[in-house]
Amino acid sequence: MKIILSPVASNKTTKVSVSDLVLTIDGVDVDLSQIPEGGQADGELPLIGVVTREEATIQYKYDSSKAKPSQSTDWADYTFDVNNGDVPSPIVWKEA
C-alpha cells in the first residue's frame, strides 16, 4: 500500500501501521476493505483527500520540539510502500 504522510508540526507524533487493508493511526483502525476494488472514498482527518485500497494520504503530526527545524520538502521522503508493519517516520530528529 502506498502511504503518503503529510507532515504537521505538533506537540505529539502520529504512529501509523498497516496490516493488509487495515490502517492503524494512533490506535484507531481504519478498514479500507469497505472500499470496493477499484473504488475510492473521501478521507476524513487524519486521512486526507481521496483514499483507495492501494493508496492513502495521512496527516502526520510530529513533535516539533524534538525535530530538527529543517525538514525535507521532497514528497518522495514522505511516501512509503508498506503492506504490513509500521510506517517509518520521515522526520529528522534532534540528537538525544
Instruction: For residue range 57-85, list pLDDT tens digits in order.
Output: 999 999 999 999 999 999 999 999 999 99
pLDDT for the residue numbered 90: 97
Give dist(CA 44, CA 68) in Å, integer: 29
Instruction: Tell whether the model's pLDDT for residue 96 goes beyond 90.
Output: no
Give dist(CA 1, CA 19) in Å, integer: 10
Instruction: Count Cβ atoms within 10 A of the Cβ of residue 18 and give its class: 0-12 exposed, 13-18 middle, 19 or more buried.
Output: buried
* Predicted structure pTM score: 0.93
